[in-house]
Amino acid sequence: MADTFPDIPPSYSSAGATDFRVLEAPFGDGYTQRAADGLNSTPRTYNLLWESRPDADIATIYDFLIDKLGFEYFLWTAPGDTERKWICKKPITKTPITAGYTTLKCQFEEVFDL
């Protein structure tokens, strides 16, 4: 059973994107055939930001992501969406702001593991 990401909502400036994986077969007369690349051809990514949060919240998020080692998926519900499977393999950036407050940035990538 996968772990669930801690219930610490990201800042409103976080952004999500959907990619479309498409197979294309171009033909000599200018005609191109297109089809979805597999059953899960619309993976999502989220660039997440926890801005100027208490060090304890940032430590909880950071430790959770480090424990996953960039390849183990976890469950997370994006704002306004349903729970999905994600990994975080991009660099995680922590920036101290003031005494007791830190900003954390990372990217979640949707995965379709069973």
Consecutive H or E run containing 96: strand 93-98
Q: Which long-range CB contacts under 8 A does 22-29 form with residues at least 24 apart?
A: none
**Which residue(s) pair with 55 in the sheet?**
none
In this predicted model, what pLDDT tens digit does every residue of 1-28 receive, in sequence order?
Answer: 689 999 999 998 788 888 899 999 999 8
Strand, coil or helix: 63: helix
Q: Of the ranges 15-19, 59-63, 86-90, 95-99, which one carries the lowest mean pLDDT score?
A: 15-19
pTM, to two decimals: 0.86
Residue 36 makes CB contacts below 8 A (sequence gap 6+) with 20, 21, 22, 23
